[in-house]
Amino acid sequence: MWMAQPKIDSLIAVLREGSYEQRKDATQELVALGDAAVEALIDIMRMYSSREAYEREVMEDANPAQHYAVECLIEIGEPAVDPLIDALRDTTWGARMGAIYCLGAIGEPRAVQPLIELLGEDWGKQDAPIYDIGESLKRIGEIAMRPLIFALRQHQNARVRYGAATIMESYSDPLVVKALSDTAREDESSDVRGAAILSLRMIGDESAITVMIDALADSAAENRELAAVGLGNLLERATDEQARGTGIAALVRVMREDDDWGARQTAAEKLATLQTLHAEEAVDRLVLDLSDPDPEIRLGAGWSLLPLNDTRAVDPLTRLLTHSDARIVRMAAAALGRFGDPRPIPILNALLSSPNEDIRHAANDALQALSKNTET
């Protein structure tokens, strides 16, 4: 090992600073050295303490050293697995993210449980890389499904259960649907229940209609809203007429009685989209919300009317472009761009001079969208 170290150090220096051709040659030599080169390659990934550091490097070099290190470790394969599993708990963002990717590409089943446990780690100011972990688990294969189900049902850490529920949107197995259904009904964490509802919506299995109906009574308003969207989507293609009728009745109750305006508006939007007997009432309720004193409710109503192409929302949304809350202005501009109605163009043009950069971008995006609508 020690005899190879000077050569490894020299090759690593090429990966950091060499030309494209030199780096490719160094990659081949490092792969040939096998496990002797593994720790030095992982050290390269440690160069990036955060996502921001990595992105800065990519700005300067489209193929930074980490890309070559990852390529080498994947080619080395099984001898790199244990050090990569250890790197999942490294203190640097680069080592952890590189290890997640490499372990998925190598396809080593021993990495399944460590990757699942990583869902529960504290990533500080960074969001947990649930998508990246999920992609690696998928690449490892179906062998990851049952450990994910077990984690969803039994793990004490709500972060792990949340991550498992989120990842499961990529699986359509009946066992997954059952586990997500039970979680949506029973988990003590509202975030985990919400993740399960969302994954069931993404899977789109008609058997989840009853789960969505039950979730319309969830104690968390955001979960009731998620369930209304999910239920509406499932009813669009439901073949069971009895289930469809029960689902529509549940949406009507939410539209009329829920104490959260977001859930009420979502239910109304879905009832109108489904063209049910209650569609006219649903649209009328949304139009009525356009006059609500609360700007958030007016904004929500405008967005709910967007899929229906009901241009009665255009004037109320245009008035929100002068609101003091920048987020409301941005959201109103985004909706108006999609409506395709030219009436807000003068105010959007004025917003191009706003001192708020985000508002300027939102106004510009809306004007570009309106321009495209005009051309077509």
Return the CA Rg of the chain. Answer: 26
Q: Which residues of the chain have pLDDT under 50?
A: 1-3
Residues 231 and 214: their CA atoms lie apart, in Å, by 10
CATH number for the segment(s) 204-289: 1.25.10
Q: What is the CATH number of domain 295-376?
A: 1.25.10.10
Sequence-ordered alpha helix ranges (H) in 65-129: 65-76, 81-87, 93-106, 112-118
Q: Is the distance from CB of 202 to CB of 227 less than 8 angstroms? A: no
Distance CA(305)–CA(261), nearest Å, equals 14
- In this predicted structure, what is the pLDDT of residue 134? 97
Closest by alpha carbon to 279, among 303, 252, 259, 306? 252
pTM here? 0.88
Q: What is the pLDDT of residues 297-327, one digit of tens each?
A: 999 999 999 999 899 999 999 999 999 999 9
Cβ(341)–Cβ(311) under 8 Å? yes
**Backbone phi, psi, residue 129, to 5°:** -80, 65
Q: DSSP of 312-340, one letter per residue?
A: GGHHHHHHGGG-S-HHHHHHHHHHHHHH-
For position 6, what pLDDT does the model report?
Answer: 85
Per the CB < 8 A criterion, the answer to whether 72 and 41 are in contact is yes
Return residue ranges of the chain for CATH 1.25.10.10. Answer: 295-376
**285 CA to centre of own chain:** 31
- CA distances, 219 to each of 135, 158, 190, 215, 222 (Å): 32, 17, 8, 9, 9
Residue 187, SS3?
coil
